Structure 1
Amino acid sequence: MAAHVLIAGGGIAGLASALALARRRHRVDLLEQAVAFSEVGAGIQLGPNVTRRLQSLGVWEALGRIAARPDALVVRSAIHDREIARLPLGNAMLHSYAAPYFCVHRADLHGVLLAAVRGTGAVTLTTAARVTGVVARDHAVCVSSTESRAWEGDALVGTDGLWSMVRPYLVQDSPPRATGHTAWRALVEQASLPASLRSTQVTVWLGPRLHAVAYPVRRGEALNVVVLAESAPAGDARDWDQASSLAALQTATGRTGSGLQALLEAVPGWRAWTLNDRPPLTDASQMAGERIALAGDAAHPMLPYLAQGAGMAIEDAVALAEALDGGDAASVPAAFARYAEARWQRNALVQQRARRNGEIFHATGLLRMGRDTALRLLGARLLDVPWLYAG
């Protein structure tokens, strides 16, 4: 018999987990605290490790309709705008990893996953259901929410993000920490930009205490732009969609080179959020125990400096379903233990590398000079990450 799994959180991690479980014939109740299923945020880069798993979830055709296919990753100086290094993507990724490199808008990927989940007929979606209590028994888990509603299942998966309500029932630790970094994001139609600013590439500008990224999304019709700087946090740390401005961004970054500055000035509006995270995982018990498991940011929030936050959540979803494959209610604790053992070290490594990348990207002085020299000499060898993309 299949298991009955409760999932708290209807973002990308929750929907991917629900889809993966439903495709293996488990029954799922997915609880979302918002009054409607929706997603905001910036674009997402999907490396071959992620697109390979999305293909296994049966959303390949729909994904192809929303994705952009960048032809290269190009690193430039944020000050001088000179190219420092380049990694071919496109056919090169297909040749090396048998899967493509895509860029999508977060809301578009969310929509694809939501449609696929609805199409399974095995997932009950409930909105306005904010988790307020969890009781784990020997053979079941009971979840209560606002308005005195309750659900009982064989297992609970917390996919409710950085500020997870489920996490405290598994892990006793401190709240997320402020990193001192702020991100500004924008989405602009490429047709509205001068030809010189339009792009089919992932471009990364590196500067002292800042970096910027721009890449196409929505079949290449729009350009996603993100600027990350070491800047004092502003507003509610839990708000991922704060109104901001070019002036606020420039105050944090100072004047950049003319190439990047022209792009920033061409963007019609900016949103911002302050970055918070947790220390890298140290053992499997931080991802699962008995009948409660965590996936995505609820388990291992990551700084966006390796472009793998959503990717690791999708990897978690597939691994969770694989661990539960063929199992029933009685097998949940053993299956969750297998899941946590299979995932925690890889997630911890990605967390560590993302933190290290932040230091390298924002380097100053001699470290910055050494970084740029190494990138010029080794180029694609440094930008490629086989341990990640082949996994």
Structure 2
Amino acid sequence: MNQQVIVAGGGIGGLACALALARAGVRSVVLEQAEAFGEVGAGLQLGPNAVRVLAEWGLMDALQSCAAFPEALRVRDAHRANQLGHLRLGALALARHGQHYATLHRADLHGLLLSAVQRRPEVQLRLGARLASWTEDGEGVQVALEDGETLSGEALIGCDGLWSRVRAGLLGGPPVRATGHLAYRGMVRSVDLPTPLRANLVTAWLAPRLHVVHYPVKQGDWFNLVAVVQGQLPPGDDPQGWTHEAHASDLRRALGPACGELMAMVAAVPDWTLWPLNDRPALRGPHEQARGRVALLGDAAHPMRPYFAQGAAMAIEDAWTLGRLVQDREAGIDWALRLSCYARTRWQRNARVQKLSQRNGVVFHAQGMLRWARDSAMSMLGERLLDNTWLYDGPPEPMR
């Protein structure tokens, strides 16, 4: 049976897309290249803008069963340990923005979306189905899989991540670019931390050429840590082939004269993984998010550096917008028109977050006068500098 929409990719963005379409009564088939659904990585943060969408989708109970809801964001100097900035979250985020600020494991967010999608008869899930190529004509989109099977649909949504094959067919280059940053990621049980380190906070430690962020996940039973340092992998090296001791030793060396509290947090992590960070330039116009009957969503459209904590949120917002635009189906769906509206609604907001994410990487790792100016601004402006009402009060209503 031909499906109305083909969704390439079964990660957070792809499942959110399928769920949003299903809630609008639109059938889809989700093509996941892996043999089992899963999510690679560790923790993530969801601002009120993304939590608002999950609540609208009826997923708050599921979110509360696996997430933590930090009371504040605290920014500290990694060497001197003094506080640089503070943003109240918890009840104040709810009062200011109408929704919670949540932190959770990527696999838990993926799992709650997967459970929601599996309850929708409008969605067909296909495992071991990797897109090889696609073509579009006036009647629809044809997708060829690597095993030779061909599928037809009325539209194609590329949710296949940074290395998206849908994007390659739609836009071609430029290639993915290396950021020059390496991310060490780890998890630690709360009971294995000294009591003072178990506070229900998002803590960001800043130092020249590096920063570390940690926060609770899994209802506070675990903490997620990510340390980002500037540097490149040696050519040909596979970071996943290295040992934990090698990762830990390299990270300790990169941290240098870090304060005792931060070093205790880092030392408690039983295993580190290392990931080179890559991205693409910010979107330059709606033509880079949709053309004709083909659109890009999440990292396939706008991969982001993780310094604004909005990568997953922007994918969820993309999906919500697309779902809103196809709700009115009485006269059928003009997919080229609806996807054009989707791209015009989303591209500037996504590009703004991409640029701010890149800028934050510079600010977090600042040295010299820029570091002094950053610290002074946080001291004088306080929460006004750290809160982002324009972002957290979203997502914006779609253009039509």
**Pairing partner for 1:252 from 251, 254, 260:** 254
Count residues in correspondence. Answer: 390
Letter in 1 for 2:283: L
- The residue aligned with 2:397 is none
Deviation at 1:209, TM superposition (A): 0.5
In structure 2, runs of 5+ residues without a counterpart are 395-400
Q: Deviations 1:340-364 (Å, cap 9, x if unpaired)? A: 0000000000001111111100000
Matched, 1:286 2:320: no
Aligned to 2:49, what secondary structure does the other structure show?
A: helix
Q: What is the TM-score normalised by the length of structure 1? A: 0.96
Aligned to 2:376, what secondary structure does the other structure show?
A: helix
Deviation at 1:197, TM superposition (A): 2.0
Aligned to 2:147, what secondary structure does the other structure show?
A: helix
C-alpha separation in 2, matches of 1:239 and 1:319: 37
The 8 Å contact of residues 131 and 144 in structure 2, kept in 1 or not, is answered as: yes
Q: Deviations 1:270-292 (Å, cap 9, x if unpaired)? A: 01100000000010000001110
Structure 1 pair 266/330, CA: closer, same or farther in 2 (3 Å)? closer
The 8 Å contact of residues 75 and 83 in structure 2, kept in 1 or not, is answered as: yes
Structure 1 pair 11/209, CA: closer, same or farther in 2 (3 Å)? same
Deviation at 1:252, TM superposition (A): 3.3
Deviation at 1:167, TM superposition (A): 0.2
C-alpha separation in 2, matches of 1:124 and 1:386: 37
Moved more, 54-63 or 15-24: 54-63
Letter in 1 for 2:287: S
Structure 1 pair 103/257, CA: closer, same or farther in 2 (3 Å)? same
Deviation at 1:255, TM superposition (A): 3.6
The 8 Å contact of residues 255 and 261 in structure 1, kept in 2 or not, is answered as: no
Deviation at 1:326, TM superposition (A): 2.1
Matched, 1:361 2:364: yes
Structure 1 pair 65/42, CA: closer, same or farther in 2 (3 Å)? same
Q: Deviations 1:306-358 (Å, cap 9, x if unpaired)? A: 00000000000000111222247651000000000000000000001111111
**Pairing partner for 1:300 from 279, 299, 302:** 302
**Pairing partner for 1:268 from 267, 270, 278:** 270
The 8 Å contact of residues 73 and 87 in structure 2, kept in 1 or not, is answered as: yes
**Pairing partner for 1:309 from 308, 311, 314:** 311
Moved more, 287-296 or 329-338: 329-338
The 8 Å contact of residues 4 and 155 in structure 2, kept in 1 or not, is answered as: yes
**Pairing partner for 2:327 from 321, 325, 328:** 325
- The residue aligned with 1:156 is 156
The 8 Å contact of residues 39 and 110 in structure 2, kept in 1 or not, is answered as: yes
- The residue aligned with 1:203 is 203
Deviation at 1:3, TM superposition (A): 7.7
C-alpha separation in 2, matches of 1:239 and 1:297: 22
Deviation at 1:162, TM superposition (A): 0.3
Q: Deviations 1:12-48 (Å, cap 9, x if unpaired)? A: 0000000000011100100001110011212111101
Letter in 1 for 2:173: D
| Paired residues for 1:1-391 under 5 Å | 4-233=4-233, 244=244, 245-327=247-329, 331-391=334-394
Deviation at 1:174, TM superposition (A): 1.4
Aligned to 1:66, what secondary structure does the other structure show?
A: coil
Aligned to 2:73, what secondary structure does the other structure show?
A: strand
The 8 Å contact of residues 135 and 143 in structure 1, kept in 2 or not, is answered as: yes
Moved more, 338-347 or 264-273: 264-273
Q: What is the TM-score normalised by the length of structure 2? A: 0.94
In structure 1, runs of 5+ residues without a counterpart are none
C-alpha separation in 1, matches of 2:119 and 2:105: 22
Letter in 1 for 2:387: D
C-alpha separation in 1, matches of 2:242 and 2:30: 27
Moved more, 7-16 or 230-239: 230-239
Structure 1 pair 183/128, CA: closer, same or farther in 2 (3 Å)? same
Aligned to 1:99, what secondary structure does the other structure show?
A: coil
C-alpha separation in 2, matches of 1:367 and 1:140: 52
Deviation at 1:243, TM superposition (A): 5.8
C-alpha separation in 1, matches of 2:157 and 2:18: 10
C-alpha separation in 2, matches of 1:240 and 1:129: 25
C-alpha separation in 1, matches of 2:305 and 2:335: 31
Structure 1 pair 96/11, CA: closer, same or farther in 2 (3 Å)? same
